[in-house]
Amino acid sequence: MAKHVTRLGGLLAAYQRRDPAARSKLEVFLLYPGVHAILWHRVAHWLYLRRRYFLARWISQHARKKTGIEIHPGATIGRRLVIDHGMGVVIGETTEIGDDCLLYQGVTLGGTGKDQGKRHPTIGNNVLIGSGARVLGPFTVGDNARIAAGAVVLSAVPPNCTAVGVPARIARMNGKPVYYADDVDQIHVHDPIMEELEALRRQVEELEHSLTDTRRRPA
Between 6 and 127, residue with greater pLDDT: 127
Residue 53: is its pLDDT beyond 90?
yes
Between 7 and 41, residue with greater pLDDT: 41
**pLDDT recorded at residue 147:** 94
Between 18 and 81, residue with greater pLDDT: 81
Residues 154-180: tens digit of each pLDDT: 999 999 999 988 888 887 655 554 444
Predicted confidence band of residue 193 (pLDDT cuts 50, 70, 90): low
Contact 135, 153 (CB under 8 A): yes
Contact 111, 120 (CB under 8 A): yes
- What strand order describes the sheet that includes 152-153? 70-71, 90-91, 108-110, 134-136, 152-153
CATH architecture assignment, domain 75-214: 3 Solenoid (2.160)
Contact 56, 41 (CB under 8 A): no
The residue ranges of every structural domain in the chain are 75-214
**pLDDT recorded at residue 184:** 52
The predicted model gives 48-54 an average pLDDT of 96
Q: Cα-atom radius of gyration of the chain, to the nearest Å?
A: 22
